[in-house]
Amino acid sequence: MGYLDPDVAASVGQLATGGPAGRVRLNGREILASTTQLVGATWGENHRNVLIALTMMYVEDGRDGTVGASLTKLARLLYGHGAGGEAYKMIARAAHDLYRGELTIEGFDVTTGQTPPGFYSRTRLLIDLVWHEDLERVFQGTLRGREEIGQRIGGARGRNTMRWRFHPAYAERIDTAEVVSLDWARLRALNGVAQGLWIQLSAPRFQFAPLLERPGFERLELLLDEPVYHAFGVHARQDRDRRRTLNRAGERIMDVDPAYEAFEAHGGKSVPSRLVVVR
Predicted confidence band at 35 (pLDDT cuts at 50, 70, 90)? very low
35-39, 51-55, 76-80, 274-278: which has the minimum mean pLDDT? 35-39
pLDDT, tens digit, 9 for 90 and up, residues 252-268: 999 999 999 999 999 98
More confident residue, 191 or 40: 191
Mean local confidence (pLDDT), 72-94? 82
pLDDT for the residue 277: 97
DSSP lists the bridge partners of residue 77 as none
71-75, 107-111, 222-226: which has the minimum mean pLDDT? 107-111
Say yes or no to pLDDT of 276 above 90: yes
Mean local confidence (pLDDT), 178-193? 88
pLDDT for the residue 139: 74
Predicted confidence band at 14 (pLDDT cuts at 50, 70, 90)? low
Q: Is 30 helix (H, G, I), strand (E, B) or coil?
A: strand
Residues 6+ apart with CB under 8 A from 232: 13, 22, 193, 196, 197, 200, 246
Say yes or no to pLDDT of 4 above 80: no
Predicted confidence band at 241 (pLDDT cuts at 50, 70, 90)? very high
pLDDT for the residue 1: 72
Mean local confidence (pLDDT), 248-253? 98
pLDDT for the residue 27: 44
CA distance 204 to 221: 15
Predicted confidence band at 62 (pLDDT cuts at 50, 70, 90)? very high
pLDDT for the residue 10: 64
CA distance 67 to 201: 28
pLDDT for the residue 178: 73
Computed over every residue of the chain, the mean pLDDT equals 81
pLDDT, tens digit, 9 for 90 and up, residues 118-175: 888 788 889 999 988 877 887 777 776 666 666 666 655 556 788 999 988 888 888 8
